[in-house]
Amino acid sequence: MALQPFLALGAILFCIGLFGALTKRNLIIVLISIELMLNAANINLVAFSHFGVTPHVGGQVYALFNMAIAAAEVAVGLAILLSFFRARNSADVKDVNLMKW
């Protein structure tokens, strides 16, 4: 296999995630879209690591760090979402500005 199919898959996933993050109003869908964009970046990191001029595991290590950061981001994001939902009984993005002082 060549590098181009992996880059195309990463670009398609990133575009789908970007579209979801910018157009959807539900906070859960926005978080899932951000995760999709992070996974697209992971695909590109691993592809460049494997198909580079000198293949090494550097991209794979960065992808693992990226997954750890994504897991922490999901935990914090869901905690904030749960707190917001309990306070406002809504998971809509337009209601988030009501949390301002």
Q: What pLDDT score was predicted for residue 10?
A: 96
pLDDT digits (tens, 9 = 90+) for 51-76: 988 888 888 999 999 999 999 999 99
Q: What pLDDT score was predicted for residue 98?
A: 61
Task: Name 45's Cβ contacts closer than 8 Å, sequence gap at least 6.
Answer: 59, 60, 62, 63, 66
- The CATH number assigned to the domain holding 8 equals 1.10.287.3510
Structural domain that includes position 26: 3-99
| pTM assigned to the model | 0.83
Task: Name 78's Cβ contacts closer than 8 Å, sequence gap at least 6.
Answer: 31
With a cut of 70, list the residues of the chain below it in pLDDT. 98-101
The tally of domains found in the chain comes to 1
Q: What pLDDT score was predicted for residue 54?
A: 86
Element (H, E) at 93: none
